[in-house]
Amino acid sequence: MLVSGCSTVARPKEDAGFHVRHMPPGDRDVFEALLSSGGVELGDPFCQGAGRGTDDTTVGAYLSGFLVEMNQANGGNHLVIEHLSDSNEAWTVRAMLRHKEGEDVWSWGVEFAIRKQDGSVDPRSFRCIGAG
């Protein structure tokens, strides 16, 4: 069972995917879902070749390439989590890694859905987004 305020959400036993702890999900839930989805294969066509390496085919590989680029002592680096939409079936969320060091400015991340029925992350919903 997932408990959030006065509501509980039953988790299907056959679903081994990640489930958020709070509904609607807060920023910490979104980031935890993102970290727990590192092995999810990226099916979005925009994700092909969008990472720091040509072989970035999972959420974890894609984001880790950008995270190591943020390891600059004088860079303006931060994480931005946004709650984009609230449909009948799911919440759509975005997690962006942003970097600014002089003229080197970029922002890359993912959008994905968290199902309202059980708080599970939809692994097919991951989209790569960004620029820079």
Examine residue 63 and state whether it is found in any structural domain, yes or no: yes
Query: Structurally, how many domains does the chain consist of?
Result: 1
Look at residue 46 and tell me if it is in a domain.
yes
Beta carbons of 34 and 63 less than 8 angstroms apart: yes
Burial code (b: 16+ CB inside 10 Å, e: under 16) for 35-56 equals ebbeebebeeeebeebbeeeeb
Q: What is this structure's pTM?
A: 0.75
CA dist 90 and 113 (Å) reads: 6
> Which tens digit of pLDDT belongs to each residue from 66-121?
888 777 666 688 888 999 989 999 999 999 999 888 898 999 999 999 999 999 99
Q: 49 lies in a domain?
A: yes
Q: What is the CATH number of the domain that holds 24?
A: 3.10.450
Which residue range forms the structural domain that includes residue 38? 7-11+15-131
The answer to whether residue 127 is domain-embedded is yes
pLDDT at 13: 42
Q: Is residue 1 part of a domain?
A: no
Q: What is the pLDDT of residue 10?
A: 45
pLDDT at 75: 66
2 domain-assigned:
no
In this predicted structure, the answer to whether residue 57 has a pLDDT above a threshold of 50 is yes
Rounded average pLDDT over 37-55 = 91
